[in-house]
Amino acid sequence: MMVIPAVDVLDHKVVQLVGGELGSQKIILPDPFRTAMSWVEKGAPYLHLVDLDGAFGKGNNLQIFKKIIKECGVPVEIGGGIRSTKSVDDLISAGAERVIVGTKAIKEPDWLSMIADKHPGKIMAGMDTKNGSLVVNGWQGSYDVSVESMFDTIREMPLGGVLNTNVSVEGQMGGIDADQCRNFISKCPHRVISSGGVTAESDCKTLSRLGAEGAVVGLALYTEKIRPWEWDRPWFS
């Protein structure tokens, strides 16, 4: 299982929010491109880019993300406010390895099916959860579809995976919720990348044991609470 650095961009700066709440920034860095490249220079095998401006309806950061995709030299997945076929097509044409679609995918599963068929293996369904329920619109609202029902909906789609962010523990540096991760990964019909609460190497080992393909890590990397570039198998657990 690989550790994937998160580069979350809000107001055109790299930030780390607590539980997705605006104003809760614990990290603010001025240059998304330089930040992304710094992780690659430390050996990161993959990057996770999130357009928080797009998620919160404040514009987007797609031009700088396209530059990162073009120049970073490692595969990139990107999400945050991607709610149109044109945006997906554009990012895949720009070289994104995978495009994460969340709110629109959950609200419009027929569109998700269409875009997955159009780009097999390139689309990730973003299923963000809080207290076991799906949340949408930049984690600002719940949606009346169960996780299990969504699993049934996506079961036969040619997805590139599912990203599950556990908002309940996101950014709090308190560790993962192993029971929630076990439940989600074991029931999901696609490979899973987990996010939320990854704070120590032990969290990564737990996720690896539970079958996660990757772990998206933010604050714990930025504060160097975990240093996967120093592990016996750098960036892999």
Separation between Cα atoms, residue 149 and residue 201, nearest integer Å: 32
Q: Which of 8, 51, 53, 203 is catalytic?
A: 8
Sheet strand arrangement including 133-136: 129-130, 133-136, 141-142
For the question of residue 128 being annotated catalytic, the response is yes
How far apart are alpha carbons 31 and 142 in whole angstroms?
32
d(CA 10, CA 51): 7
Rounded Cα distance, 146 and 132, in Å: 9
Give 97's contacts (C-beta < 8 A, 6+ positions apart): 46, 75, 76, 77, 122
The DSSP secondary-structure symbol of 131 reads T
Indicate the pairing of strand 129-130 with strand 133-136: antiparallel
Catalytic residue among 51, 53, 128, 203: 128
Q: What is the largest CA-CA distance in the chain?
A: 44
Asked about 8 being catalytic, the answer comes back as yes
The residues annotated with a catalytic role in the active site are 8, 128
